[in-house]
Amino acid sequence: MSDSTIKVQQRLNRFIRQSKQIMPPRVPRDDDLLSSFEILPARYKGRQVNRVIIALSSRGCSLFHRSQGGCLHCGLINDGIINPVFDQGELFTYFKERLKKFNFSGYPVLCIYTPGSFLDNLEIDEEIQYKIISLVVQKAELKKIILESLPQFITEEKIKNLKSMLGSKEIEIAVGLDSQADLIRKICINKNFSLKIFNRACGLLKKREIPFSVFALLKPPFLTEQESITDTIQTAKYAFKMGAAAVSIEPNTVQKNTFTWTLFQHKQYRPPWLWSIIEVIKNLPPELEIRIGGIVVYPQALQSAYNCPRCSTEFQHKIQQFNLDQDRHIFENLDCICKKQWQDELRVNTRQLLERIDVILQKLDAKDNHTIFTS
């Protein structure tokens, strides 16, 4: 790591630590809000289905518990789903009761989400992970289970055990990469693993013939609109090269009590344009499966990807439809008066990334720190 990178990282870490010090006390988990996301449409074997989503309240992502963690855009602390002191037995009981609600003959796909990585033993005890999988196996009508994990928690022993327990049931591991560029992932997102670790995880999954998808974050903090588009396209292509069955493009959002929220308040961040999402899709091979997230968001975002009031709703609907049928023709002949503004923004020239970040942090440093993180 270069001296300039270390300097920027140290300055950024200080801001992150300050922001964490004024995090609100743990709030109750909003089960009503969680339940509103339990049934969502999806694709399964080329057809539209409904999937069940069960979100578990856990200790939270290991990255979050570092003094300078976790991701700069993650606002899960606001909704009570991160619980630093929690009862593993209560978590299992919660999952068991949620699972009873559904007749899986109508829902062939189950997604189990946590505020971090399901396979992280520091987040969820390994014994509880396997007890949850044992319950899932008993649902004969359930065809496929999707779990999320950062690559550092994907071990040969763990995936061997999962494969053995699930038997004929399909499994997909959704791997959090976000960016194929180590610098962007480290500085602009605050993830602490290298591309080498991601590559190793992909190799283990392919060895055990476990399909995996990959998350690519569109427009982390500090990147320009054009840089964001380019990085996301490169990340998606890299993921497919490594064997991903699908790539989930995640347009960044602004969530309260995050560093991204601080930048947004001080006019140093704008979520991606919907035009940019479509541009990414158009620049990826049509035979590959692309999923677009960020339209339905938990926790609820203060601001998500948008264009202008005239076309945003229409574009969001088209993106949601694309998720279900993968038909890119839906984006043909789209136009709006805001397209020129987006195109102008793509041509903006600015400083090199590290210099740009340092200037932004110096601007924040010149302000009263209490005002920065509470306004």
What contacts 181, CB < 8 A, 6 or more positions away? 231, 234, 235
Contact status, residue 45 vs residue 172, Cβ threshold 8 Å:
no
The model's pLDDT over 178-192, given as tens digits with 9 standing for 90+, comes to: 999 999 999 999 998
Domain boundaries, the chain: 10-374
**pLDDT at residue number 227:** 97
Contact status, residue 287 vs residue 237, Cβ threshold 8 Å:
no
**pLDDT at residue number 374:** 52
pLDDT of 80 higher than 80: no
Contact status, residue 204 vs residue 151, Cβ threshold 8 Å:
no
**pLDDT at residue number 33:** 66
Calculate the average pLDDT of the chain.
90
The three state secondary structure string of 101-113 is CCCCCCCCEEEEE
**pLDDT at residue number 267:** 93
pLDDT bracket for residue 194 (50, 70, 90): very high
pLDDT bracket for residue 372 (50, 70, 90): low
pLDDT bracket for residue 24 (50, 70, 90): low
Strand order in the sheet with 212-218: 39-44, 47-55, 109-113, 144-149, 170-178, 212-218, 246-251, 289-292
Question: For 359, how many CA atoms within 13 A lie in the half-sphere containing its CB?
Answer: 9
What is the mean pLDDT of the segment spanning 55-61?
A: 86
pLDDT bracket for residue 16 (50, 70, 90): confident
The model's pLDDT over 287-310, given as tens digits with 9 standing for 90+, comes to: 999 999 976 666 678 999 999 999
Cα–Cα distance for residue pair 211/202, rounded to 1 Å? 9
**pLDDT at residue number 368:** 57
The model's pLDDT over 109-161, given as tens digits with 9 standing for 90+, comes to: 999 998 899 999 999 999 999 999 999 999 999 999 999 999 999 999 999 99
**pLDDT at residue number 9:** 86
Window from 13-17, 224-228, 287-291 with minimum mean pLDDT = 13-17
Which tokens hold the place of 75?
A: 């606002």
What is the mean pLDDT of the segment spanning 64-93?
A: 80
What is the mean pLDDT of the segment spanning 97-115?
A: 92
Tell me the CA distances in angstroms from 138 to 104, 108, 119, 161, one per residue in order: 11, 13, 20, 16
**pLDDT at residue number 200:** 98
What is the mean pLDDT of the segment spanning 333-350?
A: 95
Reply yes or no on domain 10-374 having CATH 3.20.20.70: yes
pTM of the model: 0.94
Question: For 301, how many CA atoms within 13 A lie in the half-sphere containing its CB?
Answer: 20
**pLDDT at residue number 324:** 93
Strands 144-149 and 212-218: unpaired
Give the total residue count for the chain.
375
pLDDT cut 70: percent of the chain above it: 91
Cα–Cα distance for residue pair 226/27, rounded to 1 Å? 38
